[in-house]
Amino acid sequence: MESAPQTPTTAAAGDVLRVADLPGRGRGLVAARNVREGEVLLSEPPVLLYPSTLSSLASYCSACFRSLPAAATTPCASCRAAAFCFPACAAASHPRLLCAALSHGGGAALAAAAPTEAIQEPLLFLLSAYSLPEPTLRSILSLSSAPPPPPGAQDAAGLHAAVAALAPPHMLPRGFSADLTAALLAKDRGNSFAIMEPYRTGMSLELLKARAYAVYPRASLFNHDCLPNACHFDYPDRPGPGNTDIVVRALHDIPEGREVCISYFAANWRYADRQRRLLEDYGFRCECDRCQVESQWKDDDDDNNGDDGDDTMEEEGEDDAGDRGDDGMEEEEGDDATDGDDDFPHAYFFVRYLCDNEGCWGMLAPLPPSPNGDLSHVFECNLCGKLRKEEDAMPDEGTSGMVH
């Protein structure tokens, strides 16, 4: 495999974001102009989309990952294991190495090689990634790598051997090697976004799983902040093209030059859990404003009623700096929830931007401004889809699941 291409550091005309090198945190995305709350900062199609588990093949179209209709699906003519929702999706098909692996021994070989969901996810990733054209594979290799997994957590050599055994040799790309497999797995761990199963009213969000994972090269450049100024949405079941595009919107106004960050997991996680996750999975210690405040708390202050095992993406990680220094929140809008609260100066953030649907802890972002520039004042949750009017934010209840 040749060396990875360089990421351009300039913004294309019309782009809201530009790529910048930020000391101690690698590349990041910075507002190329003043941004208003709710604005769409990025809408990007995936370069790679793969099923989360073998069982998800029965529930979701293998091309567009919409929920399969109960009747009249089209099975893949080659493997018969994957299904498509429309003839157009069947024509688009699914990754050729994955299709070959699903055909191998009538599908039994893949099931035997990946008996658990923990093995299926990386194996389905590899079979899909190795099906990509070489330039696309190289664009994935240009992304930042997750740190090595703890011993015993991921058997890269075993996964490589499984790909070699399942895929016909003539279909394997140039450069196929154990090192390349290990490098790709590090990109998957550091950059894949989960596309979630559909949420239905009343269902437990704790049980909500990923239907698929996707890699978006530009969205992978967002660094993390525990008080993000943007969050991402997916709308996999919406009609029309682009249903698997990632959409990133501003939570509030962002001045030109400020770094735009998302949170890599639900924002209600407590300090120790956030730090552990960021160090282990992304290789950095977070020194954001919120972490600086919470690092001063006594251990028993650091209480959390939320579910910290419930993250919606598996992505990126590393160090601090840039020109941000804060998330722009406190200086923008006064609110009773923050007044005089020295221990928890960020309460306002949680009142306004954390979903109050029981057990959800998704992030609320304003809907985009209208074409004539009017702000929406309606907030949408990126996990359960709840819409909440701005005036319905309840200061006393909004922080009930928060770390304090």
Ligand X SMILES: C[S@@+](CC[C@H](N)C(=O)[O-])C[C@H]1O[C@@H](n2cnc3c(N)ncnc32)[C@H](O)[C@@H]1O
Minimum CB–partner distance for residue 137 and ligand X (Å): 17
Q: Looking at 18, 187, 224, 252, which residue binds ligand X (CB under 6 A)?
A: 224
Check if the beta carbon of residue 5 is closer than 8 Å to that of residue 139.
yes
Tokens describing residue 192: 């894949």
- Comparing C-alpha atoms, which of 262, 239, 243 is closest to residue 49? 243
Minimum CB–partner distance for residue 378 and ligand X (Å): 30
Q: Which is nearer to ligand X, 16 or 54 (CB)?
A: 16
Tokens describing residue 360: 């959800």
The strand order across the sheet containing 387-389 reads 364-366, 378-381, 387-389
Per CB under 6 A, 314 contacts ligand X: no
Per CB under 6 A, 259 contacts ligand X: no
Per CB under 6 A, 319 contacts ligand X: yes
Per CB under 6 A, 28 contacts ligand X: yes
Per CB under 6 A, 357 contacts ligand X: no
Q: Which amino acid is at 205?
A: L
Per CB under 6 A, 234 contacts ligand X: no
Question: Cα 369 from chain centroid?
Answer: 24
Question: Cα 150 from chain centroid?
Answer: 22
Per CB under 6 A, 249 contacts ligand X: no
185: part of which helix (H) or strand (E)? helix 178-191
The strand order across the sheet containing 210-215 reads 48-51, 210-215, 193-196
Question: Total number of residues binding ligand X (CB under 6 A)?
Answer: 23
Q: Which of these ranges, 102-110, 202-210, 232-240, 313-321, lies near ligand X under the rule CB under 6 A? A: 313-321
Residues 124-153 binding ligand X (CB under 6 A) are 143-144
Q: Which of these ranges, 234-242, 267-275, 312-320, 363-371, lies near ligand X under the rule CB under 6 A? A: 312-320
Residue nearest to ligand X (CB): 316
Per CB under 6 A, 283 contacts ligand X: yes
Distance separating alpha carbons of residues 271 and 288, to the nearest angstrom: 11
Distance, first Cα to last Cα, the chain: 50
> What's phi and psi for 402, nearest 5 deg?
-90, 165
Q: Which is nearer to ligand X, 252 or 290 (CB)?
A: 290
Per CB under 6 A, 25 contacts ligand X: yes
As a dihedral over the C-alpha atoms of residue 27, residue 33, residue 39, residue 45, rounded to 10 degrees, the angle is: -40
Tokens describing residue 238: 């919406």
Per CB under 6 A, 282 contacts ligand X: yes
Per CB under 6 A, 26 contacts ligand X: yes
Per CB under 6 A, 216 contacts ligand X: no
| Contact positions vs ligand X (CB under 6 A) | 25-28, 143-144, 190-191, 220-221, 223-225, 282-284, 286, 315-320
